[in-house]
Amino acid sequence: MRLNNYISATGLCSRREADQYIIDRRVTVNGELAELGMQIGEEDQVTLDGNLLTPKSEFVTIAYHKPVGIICTSETGVEGNIIDAIGYPERIFPIGRLDKDSEGLILLTNDGSIVNRILRAENRHDKEYIVNVTRPLGKNFKSSMERGLDIYNPVKHEVQQTKPCVVKILSPTTFMITLNQGLNRQIRRMCSVLDYRIVRLKRERIMNINLGSLPKGKWRKLTPNELSCMLAMLDREE
């Protein structure tokens, strides 16, 4: 096994972060400073900052129905953080984000090896949302959203072009949108460009994982089939 995979398998960090620990000379193998790309076996002893590392025997990835008001941060000092809201007995962390004012599906895991894989592929896999706005949708709304819009990024102080997406009108004031892009507050900013205000935004699906009938505020473990299918999709995208 590659050393960065071994470190990531402890649930402590991602493979990329593990590489940085190695570069920073914080990792030893059998008492010797580790090198990037090292292969290790079951008998090798790996330490980080002098502490012996042991891979977890079992990983978990869960689907959570996030309510409005919960913040997708693993910082437990932040009021309303997602970790305290779930109360899972082991250390887990969110994969990606869903803003405080939105609800719906978010994934969390203790497997650092898959987090970066999902985040790296964020602009290539589908995420599906149901959106309610305050006034009836105009006849050009669907085509304008699907074609892509110029939205302003207040953090980078620049205009960004949204990628083509798929929109389905469900009612005069409700639509479903499928994105394969992960800009911050993207749907809200797209609607704002067209002079629509969102009153409810709910994420229903990430890749092959559906929210389904999972009650608000509850979580469930992904099934082995869901997890294997998701990882296979990521393999194809890398």
Question: From CA 156, how far away is CA 55, in angstroms rounded?
Answer: 39
Catalytic residues: 99
Q: Which is it for strands 127-133 and 158-161: parallel, antiparallel or unpaired?
A: unpaired
What does the radius of gyration of the chain's CA atoms come to, in whole angstroms? Answer: 20
Task: State which H helix or E strand residue 229 sits in.
Answer: helix 224-237
Question: From CA 175, how far away is CA 167, in angstroms rounded?
Answer: 7
Angle, vertex CA 230, rays to CA 213 and CA 91, nearest 5: 75
Q: Which residue spans within the chain are E strands per DSSP?
A: 27-29, 32-33, 46-48, 51-52, 61-66, 93-95, 103-109, 127-133, 150-153, 158-161, 166-171, 174-179, 198-206, 209-210, 219-221
